[in-house]
Structure 1
Amino acid sequence: MANTYTQLHVQFVFAVKFRAAVIDPSWKYRLYTYITGIIQHHGHTMIAINGMPDHIHLLVGMRPDQSIAELMQKTKQSSSKWINTERLTAGRFAWQEGYGAFSYSKSQLPAVIRYIERQEEHHRDRPFTEEYQHFLDRAGINYDQRYLFKIPD
C-alpha cells in the first residue's frame, strides 16, 4: 500500500467457551507462541500476549489491510483447532463467541503492556467478567448484560 501510513494498536480480549478455566500453565506458552504465529502470518505485530486459564489478552499492532473481525475469526478458529489436534484439554476446546477489541494510542502502550503482563496480579482481586465489563464501561460501549457471556445450556 504505497503512501499508506497507520498506527493501529488494538487489545483483543476473548474467553474460553463458558469461561471454563482449561488453559493450563503447562501449555499456555505454546498456545501464546502459536497465536503469535497466526498474528504474524497475517502481517501484524504481536506486542504483548498473556492471559488466565479462562481468557486471553493480545495487544497487536495492526496493518490496515485486514479487518479486525477477520483476524479474530482466523485466530480463534486456528488456535482452537490446534488445541484440539494437540489434545491439550480433556474435552473439545472452543473459544466463547465474540471478543473485545479496544484501540490505544502509542503513548498508552506501556500501561497496556504492563496490564497484560500482570494478569495474574490483576485477577487476584477481580474476576474476568468484572474485568471485561470494566473495559466496556471505560470505553463507553453500550452492551446488554444478558449477551456478554454464553451460559451453558
Structure 2
Amino acid sequence: MADTYSQIYIQVIFAVQNRTALIQPHWEEELNKYITGIVQNKGQKMLAINGTSNHIHFLIGMKPTCCLSDLVREIKKSSDSFIKEKQFSKFQFRWQQGFGAFSYGQSQLNDIIRYIENQKEHHRKKSFQEEYLAFLNAFDIEFKNEYLFEWLED
C-alpha cells in the first residue's frame, strides 16, 4: 500500500496589531508553549519559536494535509483568547491581520532555527519592518505597500 512522504518546512511571521510592543518577557515563554501546543495538536511539528515584544516567528515541519491559513488563523484566535484569559496584557491585545510564510529546505534548517532563536539580538540592529521587507525581497514575493502590516515608526 502506498503512503505519502513529504518534507515541508515553513517559517511563519506575524505581528501584534499596530505593531504595539505588548508581548512581555515574563509571559512570552508561556505564550510560546501555548502556540507550540496548538501546532502539535494540529498534527504539525514545531521546530523553533521566538520573537520580540511586537511580533513572532515560528518554524514548523508541516504535513501536506495541513492548510497553513487555517493553522495560522487557529493559532492567532486561540492565543489571542489565551492572552486575554490569562490577563497577560492590561492593554487590548490582538494579532494583526495577515502573516508571512516562507519555505525552506532540509539543508537550511539549522540556519533558520538559529535565526529564530536569536530574534531579540537580531532586532537590536534591524527593525521588524526592515526584516519583513528583506524576507519578501529575498523570496522574490511581489507585494503592495498598502497591504503590508501597519508600521509604526521605529
Counterpart of 1:122? 122
Counterpart of 2:86? 86
Counterpart of 2:62? 62
Q: Could you list the runs of 4 or more consecutive aligned residues of structure 1 that deviate by over 2 angstroms after TM superposition?
A: none
Query: By how many angstroms is 1:13 displaced?
Result: 0.3
Three-state SS of the structure 2 residue aligned to 1:26 is helix
Q: Which runs of 5+ in 2 are unaligned?
A: none
Counterpart of 2:30? 30
Counterpart of 1:105? 105
Three-state SS of the structure 1 residue aligned to 2:26 is coil
Counterpart of 2:46? 46
Query: By how many angstroms is 1:146 displaced?
Result: 1.8
| TM-score of the aligned structures, taking structure 1 as reference length | 0.96
Give the AA of the match of 2:117: E
Q: Which runs of 5+ in 1 are unaligned?
A: none
Do the aligned residues in 1 keep the contact of 2:129 with 2:151 (CA within 8 Å)? no
| Separation of aligned partners in 1, 2:112 and 2:130 | 18
Counterpart of 1:131? 131
Do the aligned residues in 1 keep the contact of 2:10 with 2:59 (CA within 8 Å)? yes
| TM-score of the aligned structures, taking structure 2 as reference length | 0.95
- 1:35-82, Cα deviation, whole Å (9 max, x unpaired): 000000000000000000000000000011121101100011100010
- 1:4-43, Cα deviation, whole Å (9 max, x unpaired): 0010000000000000001000000000000000000000
RMSD over aligned CA atoms reads 1.4
